[in-house]
Structure 1
Amino acid sequence: MHLDEIHAWICVDDVELSEFALEYSADGMEASCWIPSECDKQFSIHWETTDSVAGQTLNAQVTVDGTRCGSNDMRCSDRTRPHIASGSRNSVATSAETRRPLLFAQQALTDDDNLLNAAISPELGSIRVDIREVRTAPSMRSHRQPPVWDGRFETQVLHERSKKAMGHSVQFGAEYRERNRQLEPAVVVRDLATFVFRYRPIELLRAQGIAPPVVRPQPGASSADHEVVDLTMDDDDDDKAAASEINKLETRLRELKKKDGKVKIKSEPSGVRQEKESVFAPGEVIDLT
């Protein structure tokens, strides 16, 4: 999705996901769409601006299913193009030195009626990216803290009759080691853009008419009808075919000459029925079929 010079998208297996039913707010500050989620697939969130200004710090805050997953500054990765700044996120910090990847997975359900009326975030089933301009707060640097895993990313279990039980939810893969930088205190100067990706299984998006149906091949003729026969021949083949045809014709002509005089046809004027007068040799059989 694009909002002016800012672009955000989601990838699975390094391939950008299709976006359906794009909508834009009246003030042009928010864009939303639907994307197809695939069970047990890790995904990454990306953002980019093509209008970065020297001295300006842009930041992206990611929220998944209503829970904040941290923020990253948008940085220039190519000094020859300083006006282009980008960032991405594919995991969440669980401690100062560990992380867990983001992935789509089967929604956890239960028949425990105690959870039938449990509070559910209205943002369940969505991934939100808020792009802001920020500035550092030097007076707060002494309060920098490493990210701490507090369990807030644990998957919520829903009752099987819940209206929010839509098939998939964002969950977290196996923990791996990676040193995380300390959080730099920052103050939001202004909001620039918001992107909301609502995810569902592709089958559900098709059933609801959000994604186009599968295009199935039209029933066609049998493979024999499509068989390609090579009728091309080289010069030698042409000569052989012509000689064979001549031999057949000469043989047929000789056979007809032998029968000459044995079968006579009487011609009548036009419009008069023709009759055949035949003379047969004793015991001879003539095939007139």
Structure 2
Amino acid sequence: MATILIVGGSGCVGIETTKALLRDGHQVVSLSRGNRPLSPLANVTHVQADILDPQSIHSALEAHAITHVLHAAALRTTDCKKNPSQAVTVNINGTANLLEALSHYGKVERLVFTSTAAVYKVPDDNAFVDESAPTEVLNAYTATKLAAEQLVECYSHSHNLPATILRPQIIYGPTRGSDGSTAGITSAIYKASNGEDFTIPFGGTTYFHYSEDVGHYHAQALLHSPHHFARYNLPGESLDVSSICQSLNTLFPKSSIHHTPLRYPFANGLIDHAFLNDFPNTQRTPLTEAIHTMTQAHPPRPLQPQRHQ
């Protein structure tokens, strides 16, 4: 049985990974800066620490005999745009602090870092991209995520730290929350099920991941990675936002779901063969099934993950 430290345990990735790990009988320690637990899940040990304070991280690692670490804490795109210097402090310096603490601790069997597929340069033909595709820095968020990836890779090689980097595109689902424009798919599903109108703030074709699947992928990467260092695109579905609107309007005719013409600088999809080859027991929930799960007769109220401040 593993003991996993979740850095960013109150966010969508942290919550879903925690759920997957608890189902398999592992112990989860969730890190928060304040003295109140932020994770809404039971059976989780909460510890007060801060990635801006490497000594507090090292103390948490020692106190709870941590075996694996998930680093999913970061400022979102809009917050990075508003305050680039804070983006550097949290996303880059915070990652460096965590890596330094892990290096001194020396007992972690695997670090998993949640990055983003927004780092890829969009090919001229919008084709799918694999992990070897060129990257492009378009904003402070992708710049800091790429820098953090490089730090993780550096420590993996120079400090013998087993590490895995995961790149999701757009995550949707009950734990996604409503922050950020990419939450528009999640909001549209709930609005439609309530018979309300809604406009998704973007359009075009891109790659989507159901939140529960994302938690499963992270748990797999934490516990079953076959390589000392690896970088993976996460499995998902390439979907056109127009088709999502059409599906929701058909399923919930009392609502009217539309989208704007805005396209994100994302490729049409991710090539996920590497992940599927290394983790053959991977689940992948199609949108239609996800909608059904999210909108049953009495759906749970969506959790609202809190952002790292």
Q: TM-score by structure 2 length?
A: 0.26
Instruction: Name the structure where strand makes up a greater proportion of residues.
Output: 1
Q: TM-score by structure 1 length?
A: 0.27
